[in-house]
Structure 1
Amino acid sequence: MKQMITHILCATDLSKHSAYTMCHAANLAAVTGAKLHLVHAVQPMSDETRIALQLYMQTTGSSETADKARHAHLKTVMAERQREFWAHVSEEDRDIQNQVASIELVDGHPAEVILRRATELECDLIVLGAHEHGFSHTFLGTVAKRVLRRSTIPTLVVPYRDTAPSA
């Protein structure tokens, strides 16, 4: 019996490389007819950062204000990355954009967010990118390793690529 892919979760770190990962996820969505869910995990501010904000800004709501500003900035970056990506997709392939079911910024540690949202959205496949590292590191980032270890569904890790995709 064939397993159908109906929902794909594409995790993005909002880097320039994320367009290459998105290209693979969009191509898979086009081939399978699956809905595409894009998610970016917003890492929580460390306690040290919160304390520093309170010390230097001397206001009680400084960390909340910083969180809101951070979210607003990330929404802008995510929208920009989407515009850049779809602008490079050929006219004949732009219908894939209709398969994008959700674009989310979710608070939490990246691996946890990816795995939780994949379960909540009933995804059949996770697509995420590897990171560039020096010779002393493996090609996989910590997030990819954690997701691969704990995922109960197929997970595609797109290798790091220095050049932009030709969609």
Structure 2
Amino acid sequence: MKNMITHILCATDLSKHSAYTMCHAASLAAATGAKLHLVHAVIPMSDETKTALRMYMQASGSGEAADKARHDYAKTVMAERQKEFWDHVAEEDKDIRKQVASIELVDGYPAEVILRRAAELKCDLIVIGAHEHGFTQTFLGTVAKRVLRRSTIPTLVVPYQDTNKNT
């Protein structure tokens, strides 16, 4: 039987929980030999937000400057999360890092970005984390539900893991 999983898309929201989700994605990549693609969606600013920025900042290009600042911040957090994750990977598992084919920040709404990039990269599996608020909001979260509803490939939803909980 041929290897069915060759490309895995791991969607991250850049939360602390995202390392737990990435751990599952990396383990699957190691077990299957698949390439691993990491993606984070940068949600576009609404027109109202851009208008407010222009009004209060009284500068042309304030919306573009704010977008750039948001991207720069997301890049910084993505780099920090990656460093934290790889610093805690056991030495014998560090070679998994060679299977990371791409790390991207993509403008757009998360579910649409995840589904579009999975299709463009010809991924065989999507790995996404569940919502951290648990049952007080929704079990999965809006993004995970939208991805599950529309995905045409297997999708693994990693349950939220409370690392502060004493069990």
TM-score by length of 2: 0.95
Partner of 1:138: 138
1:113 aligned counterpart, secondary structure: helix
> What CA distance in whole angstroms lies between the structure 2 residues aligned with 1:97 and 1:81?
14
Size of the alignment, in residue pairs?
164
* Contact in 1 for aligned 2:134/2:140 (Cα 8 Å): no
- Is 1:76 aligned with 2:100? no
Partner of 2:157: 157
Quote the sequence identity (%).
82
5 Å-filtered alignment, 1:1-167, equals: 4-133=4-133, 135-163=135-163
> What CA distance in whole angstroms lies between the structure 2 residues aligned with 1:71 and 1:94?
28
Give, in angstroms, the shift of residue 136 of structure 1: 4.0
> What CA distance in whole angstroms lies between the structure 1 residues aligned with 2:39 and 2:138?
24
> What CA distance in whole angstroms lies between the structure 2 residues aligned with 1:5 and 1:159?
21
> What CA distance in whole angstroms lies between the structure 2 residues aligned with 1:72 and 1:149?
32
State the Cα deviation string for residues 120-142 of structure 1 (Å, max 9, x = none).
00000000000122544331010
> What CA distance in whole angstroms lies between the structure 1 residues aligned with 2:157 and 2:100?
20
Give, in angstroms, the shift of residue 2 of structure 1: 5.2
> What CA distance in whole angstroms lies between the structure 2 residues aligned with 1:159 and 1:50?
35
Give, in angstroms, the shift of residue 49 of structure 1: 1.1
* Contact in 1 for aligned 2:20/2:161 (Cα 8 Å): yes
1:105 aligned counterpart, secondary structure: strand
> What CA distance in whole angstroms lies between the structure 2 residues aligned with 1:160 and 1:55?
40
Structure 1 residues without counterparts, runs of 5 or longer: none
* Contact in 1 for aligned 2:128/2:158 (Cα 8 Å): yes
Amino acid at match of 2:139: F
2:127 aligned counterpart, secondary structure: strand
Amino acid at match of 1:112: E
> What CA distance in whole angstroms lies between the structure 1 residues aligned with 2:131 and 2:54?
33
TM-score by length of 1: 0.95
Give, in angstroms, the shift of residue 46 of structure 1: 1.2
Amino acid at match of 2:8: I
